[in-house]
Amino acid sequence: MTALNPSAPLRVAIVGAGPAGIYAGNILANAVAARAGRGPEDTDADAADTTAGGLGYDAVEIDLFESLPAPYGLIRYGVAPDHPRIKGIVNSLHEMLDAQAVGADRRVIRFLGNIEIGRDVSLDELQARYHAVVLATGAIRDAALRIPGVDLPGSYGAADFVSWFDGHPDVPRTWPLVDERVAVIGNGNVALDVARILAKLPENLRSTEVPDNVLAGLEASAVTDVHVFGRRGPADIKFTPIELRELGEVAGVDIILDDADFEGVDPAAVPTNQLKIMLRTLNAWRDRPENRGESTGATRRLHLHFWHAPVEIAGSDRVESVRFERTAPREDGSVSGTGEFVEYPITAVYRAVGYFGSPIVDAPFDAQRGVVPNEAGRVDGVPGLYATGWIKRGPVGLIGHTKSDATETIANLLEDAEAGRLVAPAETADVLELLAEREVEVTTWDGWLELDAHERALGAAHTHTRERVKVVPREEQVEISRSGALAR
Protein backbone atom coordinates (compact mmCIF):
# COMPACT_ATOMS: atom_id res chain seq x y z
CA MET A 1 0.00 0.00 0.00
CA THR A 2 1.09 3.56 -0.74
CA ALA A 3 1.34 5.75 2.35
CA LEU A 4 -0.73 8.89 2.53
CA ASN A 5 0.95 12.10 1.39
CA PRO A 6 1.04 14.43 4.42
CA SER A 7 0.68 17.48 2.16
CA ALA A 8 -2.39 16.11 0.33
CA PRO A 9 -5.92 15.88 1.70
CA LEU A 10 -7.68 12.59 2.24
CA ARG A 11 -10.03 12.20 -0.75
CA VAL A 12 -13.28 10.26 -0.19
CA ALA A 13 -16.22 9.55 -2.50
CA ILE A 14 -19.60 8.82 -0.92
CA VAL A 15 -22.21 7.26 -3.19
CA GLY A 16 -25.70 8.29 -2.08
CA ALA A 17 -26.86 11.64 -0.69
CA GLY A 18 -29.59 10.41 1.62
CA PRO A 19 -29.25 10.58 5.41
CA ALA A 20 -26.67 7.76 5.49
CA GLY A 21 -24.36 9.49 3.00
CA ILE A 22 -24.79 12.96 4.47
CA TYR A 23 -24.16 11.74 8.01
CA ALA A 24 -21.06 9.87 6.87
CA GLY A 25 -19.70 12.95 5.11
CA ASN A 26 -20.45 15.24 8.02
CA ILE A 27 -18.92 12.89 10.60
CA LEU A 28 -15.78 12.48 8.49
CA ALA A 29 -15.41 16.22 7.86
CA ASN A 30 -15.88 17.04 11.54
CA ALA A 31 -13.43 14.37 12.67
CA VAL A 32 -10.65 15.69 10.43
CA ALA A 33 -11.44 19.32 11.25
CA ALA A 34 -11.36 18.58 14.99
CA ARG A 35 -7.95 16.92 14.65
CA ALA A 36 -6.62 19.90 12.71
CA GLY A 37 -8.07 22.35 15.23
CA ARG A 38 -10.18 24.11 12.59
CA GLY A 39 -13.67 23.02 13.62
CA PRO A 40 -15.82 22.90 16.74
CA GLU A 41 -15.68 19.89 19.01
CA ASP A 42 -18.67 18.33 17.28
CA THR A 43 -20.23 15.35 19.02
CA ASP A 44 -20.49 13.59 15.66
CA ALA A 45 -16.71 13.43 15.57
CA ASP A 46 -16.26 11.93 19.03
CA ALA A 47 -16.49 8.28 17.96
CA ALA A 48 -14.03 8.85 15.13
CA ASP A 49 -11.56 10.99 17.08
CA THR A 50 -10.04 7.97 18.78
CA THR A 51 -8.59 6.88 15.44
CA ALA A 52 -7.78 10.30 14.00
CA GLY A 53 -4.78 11.25 16.13
CA GLY A 54 -1.94 9.81 14.07
CA LEU A 55 -3.13 10.51 10.55
CA GLY A 56 -0.70 11.90 7.99
CA TYR A 57 -3.12 14.61 6.78
CA ASP A 58 -5.10 17.43 8.28
CA ALA A 59 -7.68 18.00 5.54
CA VAL A 60 -10.32 16.00 3.72
CA GLU A 61 -12.12 16.44 0.40
CA ILE A 62 -15.43 14.62 0.08
CA ASP A 63 -17.47 14.21 -3.09
CA LEU A 64 -21.07 13.18 -2.43
CA PHE A 65 -22.50 11.45 -5.52
CA GLU A 66 -26.26 11.16 -6.04
CA SER A 67 -28.21 9.55 -8.87
CA LEU A 68 -31.05 12.08 -8.50
CA PRO A 69 -30.66 15.79 -9.23
CA ALA A 70 -31.55 16.69 -5.62
CA PRO A 71 -30.20 15.48 -2.26
CA TYR A 72 -31.85 13.77 0.75
CA GLY A 73 -32.78 10.39 -0.77
CA LEU A 74 -35.66 8.65 0.99
CA ILE A 75 -36.33 11.72 3.13
CA ARG A 76 -37.37 13.55 -0.05
CA TYR A 77 -38.69 10.58 -2.01
CA GLY A 78 -39.65 7.91 0.51
CA VAL A 79 -41.70 9.55 3.28
CA ALA A 80 -45.31 10.73 3.02
CA PRO A 81 -45.58 14.50 2.44
CA ASP A 82 -47.89 15.03 5.44
CA HIS A 83 -45.20 14.25 8.03
CA PRO A 84 -44.37 17.60 9.64
CA ARG A 85 -41.47 16.24 11.67
CA ILE A 86 -39.66 15.23 8.48
CA LYS A 87 -39.14 18.95 7.80
CA GLY A 88 -36.90 19.06 10.86
CA ILE A 89 -34.77 16.20 9.54
CA VAL A 90 -34.47 17.87 6.13
CA ASN A 91 -33.46 21.14 7.79
CA SER A 92 -30.79 19.31 9.79
CA LEU A 93 -29.39 17.57 6.69
CA HIS A 94 -29.49 20.88 4.79
CA GLU A 95 -27.50 22.60 7.53
CA MET A 96 -24.87 19.85 7.50
CA LEU A 97 -24.32 20.09 3.75
CA ASP A 98 -24.55 23.86 3.64
CA ALA A 99 -21.99 24.24 6.43
CA GLN A 100 -19.56 21.80 4.80
CA ALA A 101 -20.11 22.89 1.19
CA VAL A 102 -17.04 25.15 1.34
CA GLY A 103 -14.33 24.77 3.97
CA ALA A 104 -12.34 27.60 5.54
CA ASP A 105 -9.38 27.08 3.23
CA ARG A 106 -10.49 24.42 0.73
CA ARG A 107 -13.63 22.56 -0.26
CA VAL A 108 -14.85 19.91 2.20
CA ILE A 109 -18.07 18.32 0.89
CA ARG A 110 -19.08 18.73 -2.74
CA PHE A 111 -22.56 17.58 -3.77
CA LEU A 112 -22.59 16.06 -7.28
CA GLY A 113 -26.07 15.05 -8.40
CA ASN A 114 -27.67 13.45 -11.46
CA ILE A 115 -24.83 10.90 -11.65
CA GLU A 116 -25.48 7.17 -11.90
CA ILE A 117 -22.58 5.02 -10.69
CA GLY A 118 -22.06 2.23 -13.21
CA ARG A 119 -23.48 4.31 -16.05
CA ASP A 120 -21.92 7.78 -15.94
CA VAL A 121 -18.83 6.77 -14.01
CA SER A 122 -17.68 3.35 -12.86
CA LEU A 123 -16.77 2.23 -9.37
CA ASP A 124 -13.25 1.48 -10.64
CA GLU A 125 -12.93 5.05 -11.89
CA LEU A 126 -13.95 6.36 -8.47
CA GLN A 127 -11.47 4.10 -6.72
CA ALA A 128 -8.72 5.45 -9.00
CA ARG A 129 -9.52 9.03 -7.92
CA TYR A 130 -10.17 8.65 -4.19
CA HIS A 131 -8.43 7.09 -1.21
CA ALA A 132 -11.74 5.54 -0.18
CA VAL A 133 -15.26 5.05 -1.52
CA VAL A 134 -18.27 4.75 0.81
CA LEU A 135 -21.46 3.15 -0.52
CA ALA A 136 -24.60 4.70 0.99
CA THR A 137 -27.18 3.83 -1.66
CA GLY A 138 -29.90 2.66 0.73
CA ALA A 139 -32.69 0.25 -0.17
CA ILE A 140 -35.43 1.42 -2.53
CA ARG A 141 -36.97 -1.78 -3.92
CA ASP A 142 -39.86 -3.69 -2.38
CA ALA A 143 -39.04 -6.89 -0.55
CA ALA A 144 -40.69 -9.91 -2.15
CA LEU A 145 -44.03 -11.27 -0.94
CA ARG A 146 -43.94 -14.87 -2.12
CA ILE A 147 -47.58 -15.91 -2.42
CA PRO A 148 -49.68 -16.96 -5.45
CA GLY A 149 -51.20 -14.11 -7.45
CA VAL A 150 -48.71 -11.49 -6.35
CA ASP A 151 -48.05 -10.48 -9.98
CA LEU A 152 -51.70 -9.97 -10.93
CA PRO A 153 -52.68 -6.54 -12.29
CA GLY A 154 -53.86 -4.51 -9.32
CA SER A 155 -51.07 -5.81 -7.06
CA TYR A 156 -48.58 -3.03 -6.36
CA GLY A 157 -45.33 -2.62 -4.47
CA ALA A 158 -45.59 0.02 -1.75
CA ALA A 159 -42.20 1.48 -2.75
CA ASP A 160 -43.53 2.27 -6.22
CA PHE A 161 -46.61 3.97 -4.79
CA VAL A 162 -44.51 5.96 -2.33
CA SER A 163 -42.24 7.08 -5.17
CA TRP A 164 -45.31 8.23 -7.10
CA PHE A 165 -46.90 10.28 -4.32
CA ASP A 166 -43.51 11.77 -3.42
CA GLY A 167 -42.88 12.94 -6.99
CA HIS A 168 -39.90 10.73 -7.83
CA PRO A 169 -38.72 11.79 -11.30
CA ASP A 170 -38.24 8.25 -12.61
CA VAL A 171 -41.76 6.84 -12.10
CA PRO A 172 -44.96 7.43 -14.12
CA ARG A 173 -46.88 10.65 -13.43
CA THR A 174 -50.23 8.89 -12.95
CA TRP A 175 -51.48 6.11 -10.67
CA PRO A 176 -54.59 3.92 -11.23
CA LEU A 177 -56.69 4.80 -8.16
CA VAL A 178 -59.79 3.17 -9.67
CA ASP A 179 -60.67 0.68 -6.91
CA GLU A 180 -63.04 1.27 -4.00
CA ARG A 181 -61.75 -1.50 -1.69
CA VAL A 182 -57.97 -1.80 -1.34
CA ALA A 183 -55.64 -3.73 0.94
CA VAL A 184 -52.30 -2.76 2.45
CA ILE A 185 -50.29 -5.77 3.59
CA GLY A 186 -47.82 -4.91 6.33
CA ASN A 187 -47.65 -3.52 9.84
CA GLY A 188 -44.77 -1.06 9.59
CA ASN A 189 -44.51 2.70 9.14
CA VAL A 190 -44.48 2.43 5.34
CA ALA A 191 -47.75 0.49 5.46
CA LEU A 192 -49.29 3.27 7.55
CA ASP A 193 -47.98 5.94 5.19
CA VAL A 194 -49.53 4.15 2.22
CA ALA A 195 -52.82 3.53 4.02
CA ARG A 196 -53.06 7.11 5.25
CA ILE A 197 -52.42 8.63 1.81
CA LEU A 198 -54.97 6.28 0.23
CA ALA A 199 -57.61 7.13 2.83
CA LYS A 200 -56.93 10.81 3.41
CA LEU A 201 -59.19 13.36 1.77
CA PRO A 202 -57.17 15.29 -0.84
CA GLU A 203 -58.12 18.69 0.55
CA ASN A 204 -56.22 17.77 3.70
CA LEU A 205 -53.03 17.32 1.66
CA ARG A 206 -53.13 20.64 -0.18
CA SER A 207 -50.98 22.41 2.39
CA THR A 208 -48.15 19.86 2.01
CA GLU A 209 -45.43 19.59 -0.63
CA VAL A 210 -47.38 16.94 -2.55
CA PRO A 211 -46.78 17.45 -6.29
CA ASP A 212 -49.65 18.84 -8.37
CA ASN A 213 -49.96 15.70 -10.53
CA VAL A 214 -50.28 13.57 -7.38
CA LEU A 215 -52.90 15.85 -5.86
CA ALA A 216 -54.92 15.64 -9.07
CA GLY A 217 -54.67 11.84 -9.00
CA LEU A 218 -55.82 11.66 -5.38
CA GLU A 219 -58.73 13.99 -6.08
CA ALA A 220 -59.96 11.54 -8.73
CA SER A 221 -59.49 8.50 -6.46
CA ALA A 222 -62.34 5.99 -6.15
CA VAL A 223 -61.05 4.59 -2.83
CA THR A 224 -63.62 4.32 -0.03
CA ASP A 225 -62.23 1.50 2.15
CA VAL A 226 -58.61 0.79 3.00
CA HIS A 227 -57.84 -2.47 4.83
CA VAL A 228 -54.48 -2.84 6.60
CA PHE A 229 -53.45 -6.42 7.43
CA GLY A 230 -50.74 -7.53 9.85
CA ARG A 231 -49.52 -11.04 10.69
CA ARG A 232 -49.10 -10.25 14.38
CA GLY A 233 -51.45 -8.99 17.07
CA PRO A 234 -52.28 -5.46 18.21
CA ALA A 235 -49.70 -5.69 21.02
CA ASP A 236 -46.84 -6.41 18.62
CA ILE A 237 -47.20 -3.91 15.77
CA LYS A 238 -44.18 -2.37 14.07
CA PHE A 239 -45.47 1.20 13.83
CA THR A 240 -44.14 3.97 16.02
CA PRO A 241 -46.48 5.77 18.46
CA ILE A 242 -46.32 9.02 16.51
CA GLU A 243 -47.26 7.24 13.27
CA LEU A 244 -50.23 5.61 14.96
CA ARG A 245 -51.35 8.87 16.57
CA GLU A 246 -51.21 10.66 13.22
CA LEU A 247 -53.44 7.96 11.76
CA GLY A 248 -56.11 8.69 14.34
CA GLU A 249 -56.05 12.39 13.46
CA VAL A 250 -56.97 11.93 9.80
CA ALA A 251 -60.10 14.02 9.24
CA GLY A 252 -63.16 12.52 7.57
CA VAL A 253 -61.96 8.92 7.93
CA ASP A 254 -63.47 6.30 10.24
CA ILE A 255 -61.09 3.79 11.82
CA ILE A 256 -62.65 0.34 12.09
CA LEU A 257 -61.34 -2.34 14.45
CA ASP A 258 -62.50 -5.90 15.07
CA ASP A 259 -62.98 -6.79 18.76
CA ALA A 260 -62.07 -10.40 17.93
CA ASP A 261 -58.50 -9.27 17.18
CA PHE A 262 -58.13 -8.13 20.79
CA GLU A 263 -59.39 -11.26 22.51
CA GLY A 264 -56.77 -12.72 24.81
CA VAL A 265 -54.47 -9.71 24.51
CA ASP A 266 -53.27 -8.84 28.02
CA PRO A 267 -52.09 -5.21 28.32
CA ALA A 268 -50.06 -6.13 31.40
CA ALA A 269 -48.04 -8.65 29.40
CA VAL A 270 -46.98 -6.18 26.69
CA PRO A 271 -43.14 -6.11 26.79
CA THR A 272 -42.29 -2.43 26.11
CA ASN A 273 -43.68 0.97 27.04
CA GLN A 274 -43.89 1.91 23.37
CA LEU A 275 -46.10 -1.08 22.60
CA LYS A 276 -48.21 -0.38 25.70
CA ILE A 277 -48.80 3.19 24.49
CA MET A 278 -49.89 1.96 21.07
CA LEU A 279 -52.16 -0.74 22.51
CA ARG A 280 -53.83 1.90 24.70
CA THR A 281 -54.35 4.01 21.58
CA LEU A 282 -55.94 1.12 19.70
CA ASN A 283 -58.18 0.25 22.64
CA ALA A 284 -59.31 3.87 22.87
CA TRP A 285 -60.22 3.81 19.18
CA ARG A 286 -62.44 0.79 19.81
CA ASP A 287 -64.73 3.15 21.74
CA ARG A 288 -65.12 5.53 18.82
CA PRO A 289 -68.65 5.99 17.43
CA GLU A 290 -67.88 4.09 14.22
CA ASN A 291 -66.94 1.03 16.29
CA ARG A 292 -70.20 1.25 18.24
CA GLY A 293 -72.26 1.06 15.08
CA GLU A 294 -72.99 4.80 14.96
CA SER A 295 -72.86 6.79 11.73
CA THR A 296 -70.27 9.57 11.59
CA GLY A 297 -70.89 10.78 8.05
CA ALA A 298 -67.34 9.89 7.01
CA THR A 299 -66.95 8.99 3.33
CA ARG A 300 -63.89 6.80 3.84
CA ARG A 301 -62.99 4.02 6.23
CA LEU A 302 -59.65 2.62 7.35
CA HIS A 303 -59.89 -0.96 8.66
CA LEU A 304 -57.06 -2.31 10.85
CA HIS A 305 -56.83 -6.11 10.88
CA PHE A 306 -54.50 -8.18 13.07
CA TRP A 307 -53.58 -11.88 13.14
CA HIS A 308 -53.85 -12.13 9.33
CA ALA A 309 -51.13 -13.83 7.23
CA PRO A 310 -51.62 -13.45 3.44
CA VAL A 311 -51.67 -16.74 1.56
CA GLU A 312 -53.06 -15.85 -1.87
CA ILE A 313 -54.07 -12.94 -4.07
CA ALA A 314 -56.91 -14.31 -6.16
CA GLY A 315 -58.31 -13.27 -9.51
CA SER A 316 -58.42 -14.17 -13.18
CA ASP A 317 -57.34 -11.12 -15.16
CA ARG A 318 -56.71 -8.88 -12.15
CA VAL A 319 -57.00 -8.83 -8.36
CA GLU A 320 -60.46 -9.84 -7.15
CA SER A 321 -59.87 -10.91 -3.53
CA VAL A 322 -57.18 -11.66 -0.96
CA ARG A 323 -57.10 -14.82 1.16
CA PHE A 324 -55.56 -14.90 4.63
CA GLU A 325 -54.87 -17.47 7.29
CA ARG A 326 -55.66 -16.39 10.81
CA THR A 327 -52.62 -16.56 13.09
CA ALA A 328 -52.05 -16.98 16.81
CA PRO A 329 -49.08 -16.30 19.11
CA ARG A 330 -46.59 -18.96 20.11
CA GLU A 331 -44.63 -19.18 23.34
CA ASP A 332 -41.41 -18.03 21.66
CA GLY A 333 -43.03 -14.77 20.52
CA SER A 334 -43.55 -15.79 16.91
CA VAL A 335 -46.92 -16.53 15.29
CA SER A 336 -48.23 -19.58 13.52
CA GLY A 337 -51.20 -20.39 11.34
CA THR A 338 -54.43 -21.63 12.95
CA GLY A 339 -55.87 -23.38 9.90
CA GLU A 340 -58.71 -20.86 9.74
CA PHE A 341 -58.90 -19.02 6.40
CA VAL A 342 -60.77 -15.83 5.53
CA GLU A 343 -61.19 -14.05 2.20
CA TYR A 344 -61.87 -10.37 1.53
CA PRO A 345 -63.31 -8.89 -1.68
CA ILE A 346 -60.36 -6.59 -2.43
CA THR A 347 -59.54 -5.33 -5.93
CA ALA A 348 -56.17 -3.66 -5.31
CA VAL A 349 -53.29 -4.73 -3.06
CA TYR A 350 -50.32 -2.70 -1.83
CA ARG A 351 -47.45 -4.84 -0.56
CA ALA A 352 -45.64 -3.03 2.28
CA VAL A 353 -43.56 -5.88 3.68
CA GLY A 354 -40.22 -4.07 3.68
CA TYR A 355 -37.56 -2.65 1.40
CA PHE A 356 -34.68 -4.45 -0.31
CA GLY A 357 -31.29 -3.19 -1.49
CA SER A 358 -30.18 -3.01 -5.11
CA PRO A 359 -26.76 -4.10 -6.42
CA ILE A 360 -24.14 -1.46 -7.19
CA VAL A 361 -22.36 -2.22 -10.46
CA ASP A 362 -19.00 -3.92 -9.79
CA ALA A 363 -19.47 -4.01 -6.00
CA PRO A 364 -19.97 -7.24 -4.05
CA PHE A 365 -23.63 -7.94 -3.28
CA ASP A 366 -25.49 -10.43 -1.11
CA ALA A 367 -28.60 -11.20 -3.17
CA GLN A 368 -30.26 -13.03 -0.27
CA ARG A 369 -30.03 -10.16 2.20
CA GLY A 370 -30.02 -7.25 -0.24
CA VAL A 371 -26.83 -5.73 1.22
CA VAL A 372 -23.20 -5.19 0.34
CA PRO A 373 -21.36 -7.84 2.41
CA ASN A 374 -19.21 -6.09 4.99
CA GLU A 375 -17.68 -6.25 8.42
CA ALA A 376 -18.50 -3.15 10.47
CA GLY A 377 -18.64 -1.12 7.25
CA ARG A 378 -15.54 -2.55 5.56
CA VAL A 379 -16.71 -4.22 2.33
CA ASP A 380 -15.56 -7.82 2.15
CA GLY A 381 -12.49 -8.37 0.00
CA VAL A 382 -12.21 -4.81 -1.36
CA PRO A 383 -9.74 -2.57 0.52
CA GLY A 384 -10.74 1.09 0.50
CA LEU A 385 -14.44 0.29 -0.13
CA TYR A 386 -16.96 0.87 2.67
CA ALA A 387 -20.71 0.76 3.24
CA THR A 388 -23.10 2.55 5.54
CA GLY A 389 -26.85 2.78 6.08
CA TRP A 390 -29.38 0.29 4.76
CA ILE A 391 -27.08 -1.05 2.04
CA LYS A 392 -24.73 -2.00 4.91
CA ARG A 393 -27.15 -3.53 7.44
CA GLY A 394 -30.47 -3.96 5.65
CA PRO A 395 -33.59 -1.75 5.77
CA VAL A 396 -34.11 -1.68 9.53
CA GLY A 397 -33.89 1.09 12.09
CA LEU A 398 -34.69 4.78 12.15
CA ILE A 399 -32.66 7.94 11.49
CA GLY A 400 -30.79 7.64 14.80
CA HIS A 401 -29.54 4.18 13.83
CA THR A 402 -28.28 5.58 10.52
CA LYS A 403 -26.20 8.18 12.33
CA SER A 404 -24.55 5.70 14.70
CA ASP A 405 -24.06 3.33 11.78
CA ALA A 406 -22.18 6.01 9.83
CA THR A 407 -20.03 6.74 12.89
CA GLU A 408 -18.86 3.11 12.95
CA THR A 409 -18.05 3.04 9.24
CA ILE A 410 -16.15 6.33 9.30
CA ALA A 411 -14.19 5.30 12.41
CA ASN A 412 -12.99 2.20 10.56
CA LEU A 413 -12.16 4.20 7.43
CA LEU A 414 -10.02 6.56 9.53
CA GLU A 415 -8.38 3.63 11.27
CA ASP A 416 -7.45 2.18 7.88
CA ALA A 417 -6.06 5.54 6.77
CA GLU A 418 -3.92 5.80 9.89
CA ALA A 419 -2.63 2.25 9.41
CA GLY A 420 -1.62 2.93 5.80
CA ARG A 421 -4.16 0.50 4.37
CA LEU A 422 -5.58 3.00 1.84
CA VAL A 423 -4.15 3.36 -1.65
CA ALA A 424 -3.26 6.86 -2.79
CA PRO A 425 -5.30 7.94 -5.87
CA ALA A 426 -3.65 6.97 -9.16
CA GLU A 427 -5.63 9.60 -11.05
CA THR A 428 -5.27 13.23 -9.96
CA ALA A 429 -7.66 14.87 -12.45
CA ASP A 430 -10.97 16.12 -11.05
CA VAL A 431 -13.82 13.70 -11.66
CA LEU A 432 -15.80 16.62 -13.08
CA GLU A 433 -13.45 16.67 -16.07
CA LEU A 434 -14.32 13.06 -16.84
CA LEU A 435 -18.05 13.73 -16.41
CA ALA A 436 -17.83 16.80 -18.65
CA GLU A 437 -16.15 14.73 -21.37
CA ARG A 438 -19.10 12.33 -21.17
CA GLU A 439 -21.58 15.23 -21.25
CA VAL A 440 -23.14 14.29 -17.94
CA GLU A 441 -25.37 17.14 -16.70
CA VAL A 442 -24.08 17.30 -13.14
CA THR A 443 -26.08 19.20 -10.53
CA THR A 444 -24.37 20.86 -7.55
CA TRP A 445 -25.17 22.26 -4.12
CA ASP A 446 -25.64 25.70 -5.68
CA GLY A 447 -28.00 24.01 -8.13
CA TRP A 448 -30.00 22.46 -5.30
CA LEU A 449 -30.32 25.88 -3.67
CA GLU A 450 -31.73 27.16 -6.98
CA LEU A 451 -34.21 24.27 -7.20
CA ASP A 452 -35.16 24.59 -3.53
CA ALA A 453 -35.88 28.30 -3.94
CA HIS A 454 -37.88 27.61 -7.12
CA GLU A 455 -40.07 24.99 -5.42
CA ARG A 456 -40.68 27.27 -2.43
CA ALA A 457 -41.69 30.08 -4.78
CA LEU A 458 -44.16 27.77 -6.51
CA GLY A 459 -45.66 26.95 -3.12
CA ALA A 460 -45.93 30.58 -2.06
CA ALA A 461 -47.69 31.47 -5.32
CA HIS A 462 -50.17 28.60 -5.03
CA THR A 463 -53.86 29.31 -4.43
CA HIS A 464 -53.57 27.31 -1.22
CA THR A 465 -50.26 28.55 0.24
CA ARG A 466 -47.83 25.65 0.53
CA GLU A 467 -44.28 25.35 1.80
CA ARG A 468 -43.21 24.10 -1.62
CA VAL A 469 -44.50 22.44 -4.76
CA LYS A 470 -42.11 19.75 -5.92
CA VAL A 471 -40.80 19.84 -9.46
CA VAL A 472 -41.22 16.27 -10.71
CA PRO A 473 -39.64 15.83 -14.19
CA ARG A 474 -35.93 15.06 -14.00
CA GLU A 475 -35.09 17.22 -17.01
CA GLU A 476 -36.86 20.20 -15.43
CA GLN A 477 -35.05 19.70 -12.14
CA VAL A 478 -31.72 19.57 -13.97
CA GLU A 479 -32.49 22.65 -16.05
CA ILE A 480 -33.42 24.71 -12.97
CA SER A 481 -30.43 23.41 -10.99
CA ARG A 482 -27.99 24.22 -13.80
CA SER A 483 -29.38 27.69 -14.48
CA GLY A 484 -26.54 29.20 -12.41
CA ALA A 485 -22.77 28.67 -12.61
CA LEU A 486 -21.39 25.25 -11.65
CA ALA A 487 -19.51 26.57 -8.64
CA ARG A 488 -19.23 23.77 -6.10
pLDDT of residue 318 exceeding 70:
yes
pLDDT of residue 488 exceeding 80:
no
pLDDT at 468: 86
pLDDT digits (tens, 9 = 90+) for 141-150: 999 999 999 9
Q: What's the pLDDT band for 39 if we cut at 50, 70, 90? A: low
pLDDT of residue 7 exceeding 70:
no
* Per-domain boundaries in the chain: 10-140+357-442, 141-355
pLDDT at 86: 72
Question: Which residues make beta-bridge pairs with 313?
Answer: 322
pLDDT at 333: 78
CATH topology of domain 10-140+357-442: Rossmann fold (3.40.50)
pLDDT of residue 71 exceeding 60:
yes
pLDDT at 387: 98
CATH topology of domain 141-355: FAD/NAD(P)-binding domain (3.50.50)
* Mean pLDDT computed over every residue of the chain: 89
Average pLDDT over residues 452-469: 85
Q: What's the pLDDT band for 46 if we cut at 50, 70, 90? A: very low
pLDDT at 102: 52
pLDDT digits (tens, 9 = 90+) for 221-262: 999 999 999 999 999 988 888 888 888 889 999 999 999 999
